A = this chain, B = another copy of it.
Amino acid sequence: MNLLRPLPDARAAERVDELLARPGLRLMRIVSLGQANPPGFWYDQPEGEWIVLLAGSARLRFADEAEARLLGPGDCLDIAPHRRHRVDWTDLAVPTVWLAAFYG
């Protein structure tokens, strides 16, 4: 399997594929194309989430930070359980491919 080709068509909605599901671990590929969370929405998750951008570009905002972080290919970060965050923006011109590991 390849995570970059073929990519599902994400124009109408973000596409999510589960790559692996084991006790305490889920690996997901998420393909975005312009989607973002609605104003005022925050994720507040009981699990930890580690992410890396494989392609594209996105802005991720933490509730405890003043500025959104601009992410590009190779950028990764760990989101602690219950650390509130949101996706402010994803690129409209090229697909953004996220690999996310939910754990714990």
Residues of A participating in the B interface, judged by any CB pair closer than 8 Å: 1-5, 19-20, 22-25, 27, 48, 50, 52, 54, 72-78, 99, 101, 103-104
Give the nearest-CB partner of A71 in chain B.
B2
Contact of A22 among B23, B27, B73, B104 (CB under 8 A): B104
Copy number of this protein in the oligomer?
2
Dominant secondary structure of chain A at its interface with chain B: strand
CB-CB nearest 5 A-B residue pairs: A4-B74, A2-B74, A3-B74, A24-B24, A25-B103
Q: Is the CB of B101 within 8 A of A52?
A: no
**In the complex, how many angstroms separate the beta carbon of A26 from the nearest chain B beta carbon?**
10
Query: Given the complex, which residues of B lie within 8 Å of A3, measured CB to CB?
Result: 52, 74-76
